[in-house]
Structure 1
Amino acid sequence: MATSDPVYLRVVEDIRRQINDGTLPPGAPIPSRAQLTRKYQVGETAARHALRALAGEGLIIGRVGSGHYVRERPDLLPLHRWRFLEHPAPFAADLQAQGRRVTWDWHSEPAEAGAQIGPRLRLPETAMVTRTHFVFRGDGKPLQLATSYEPVELAMHAAASGTPDADRRGLLARMSSHGVKVTEIVESVHTRVPRPAESDALDLPAGVHVLHVERTHWAGDRPVETSDIVVPGDRFQVVYNLPV
């Protein structure tokens, strides 16, 4: 954080240590700016910077008219990547197996492959694909965003959201109906700062990163579907089964 008053880092480091070692447990109040200035012998600006930095790290959360508190840290849910490949919504099936009530919204639309998706599907940038957006919720809370891209000739038959005739089969079954046998699924996972729209859609506190899974289904040497899957980094851990 750019500031001419680096003394604020001393405050940040001490409060961060207390949160990490449990001295300040989840839900505990954080001293106010006035209290920080007295306790650490720093100025008002340093106290303000310290609170902003701690909130930016996702360690504390502000409540209007009440001050700052240590943020609750939920237990990480396992996100199994290979348990429900044949299910129309593997993420939903995984959470349902864990006893969660899962709902999701989706809609499809035609789009150009563009500079990002074209190379992933080995298509020209101007080629048309079917883009499908999903929002998954567990017990009413948004938990996953996903955007899937398929060549138009292989995509879901219904492009309107929620239509009764929408092809609800799993991707493997749909591809098989086109005579396409998926032979490999490749995923890469990285963490990143969420985009503003993702923060809003997933209701993310400040400072929380997301896990971004880039997934591509291959039929031999041909990519037949690619997706960007985004989940909150403070709620999930990605689990892979590797048969030996």
Structure 2
Amino acid sequence: MASSDPVYLRVVADIRRQIVDGSLSPGAPIPSRAQLTRKYGVGETAARHALRVLATEGLIVGRVGSGHYVRARPTLLPLHRWRFHDHHAPVGADVQAQGTRTTREWRIERAEATPDIAQRLRLDGSVPVTRTRYVLRGDGRPLQLATSYEPAGFGEPAAEETPRSLIARLSAAGVKVTEIVEQVYTRVPQPAESDTLALPAGVHVLHVERTHWAGDRPVETSDIVIPGDRFRLVYTHPLPPQP
């Protein structure tokens, strides 16, 4: 590492390497600050910074009065994005199929479309939209956040109803969904997302930007936030019959 880099990064890089290559297995203790200063020839401040960076990256966890340990690598559960696309809560249906009891909270409200949402729905300016916020829990543990946007007055669900699947509801209003497009990326969670999803330090989220289309018209768009340390997204691509 270049000599101009902060000295604590040498410590971070070496411990990170040991965790990644398995030299330090999940649950293994991390040297204390005093041990780090002696082993790497760095000061107390550098040792403290190194431990903070490793914890922020989600590689180690601190235990009060005990020190730091290599964080266990969680088993990622599969979420099949298309298996339950016509269910009112596709992720909930998938998790239920794995034996977890799910509950869902939602709140429906009118709001002005932000420039990004207006662009996604092909709306002109800051026009009203129906915004629905969801929190999905499995056995009481938060699993997913989602915010859905639809053009106002476009057959939105009544607040007192248990939401039907979007496809079924739009179909009842005479709108046939012809395509669902999802764009997936990872990002650092916002503080409110970390709190609601009870995310450990250093864990990113999977952000799914999903849009339902009826022909060339977008009729709904959603932002779905999934903990990146609990799930992996599974997509199936059916092929046409082969000759």
TM normalised by structure 1 equals 0.92
What's the counterpart of residue 167 of structure 2?
A: 172
Per-residue deviation, 1:5: 6.7
Counterpart amino acid of residue 38 in structure 1: R
2:51 paired residue number: 51
What runs of 5+ residues in structure 2 fail to find an aligned partner? none
Cα distance in 1 for partners of 2:40, 2:21 equals 19
Kindly state the Cα deviation for residue 119 of structure 1 after the two structures are TM-superposed: 0.8
Identical pairs, percent: 73
Match of 2:108 in 1: 108
AA aligned to 1:126 is: S
Q: Is the 8 A contact 1:182 1:220 kept in 2?
A: yes
RMSD: 1.5
Please report how far the alpha carbon of residue 22 of structure 1 lies from its aligned counterpart in structure 2 after TM superposition: 2.4
Report deviation, 1:186.
Answer: 0.5
* Per-residue deviation, 1:125: 2.9
Q: Which amino acid aligns with 2:106?
A: W
Q: Could you tell me the TM-score, scaled by structure 2's length?
A: 0.92
Looking at structure 1, the residues matched to 85 and 5 of structure 2 have their Cα atoms a distance apart, in angstroms, of 53
In 1, the alpha carbon distance for the partners of 2:64 and 2:216 equals: 55
Partner Cα separation in structure 1 for residue 72 and residue 138 of structure 2? 18
Cα deviation, residue 209, structure 1 = 0.9
CA distances 1:101-152 after superposition (whole Å, capped 9, x unpaired): 2111111111011212111111123211110111111222111110000112
Q: Does 1:33 align with 2:28?
A: no
Where does residue 230 of structure 1 map in the other structure? Answer: 225
Kindly indicate whether the alpha-carbon contact (under 8 Å) linking 2:157 and 2:163 is maintained by their aligned counterparts in 1.
no
Runs of 4+ in 1 over 3 A off after TM superposition: none
Q: Which residue of structure 1 aligns with residue 236 of structure 2?
A: 241
2:153 is paired with a residue of what secondary structure?
helix
Distance 1:122 1:235 in 2: 34
Structure 1 distance, partners of 2:66, 2:40, is 21
Residue 200 (structure 2) aligns with: 205
